[in-house]
Amino acid sequence: MADLIDSAMDDTATDCEHAEPAPRCAIELVPVTSDNLDKVRRINTVLFPVRYSDRFYTNLLTVGEFAQLAVVDGRCVGVVGCQPEASVADQALADQVYIMTLGVLAPYRRLGIGRHLLRHVLAHAEALNRAASDPGRRLRRVYLHVQVSNDEALHFYQAHGFVIASEVPNYYNRIEPTSAYLLVRSLLPENGSPPVTPA
The burial class, CB within 10 Å (0-12 / 13-18 / 19+), for 4 is middle
Give catalytic residues, as residue numbers.
98, 145
Provide the 3-class DSSP secondary structure of residue 111: coil
Q: What single letter denotes the amino acid at residue 177?
A: P
Q: What does the DSSP assignment read for 24-70? A: S--EEEEE--TTTHHHHHHHHHHH-SSPPPHHHHHHHTTSGGGEEEE
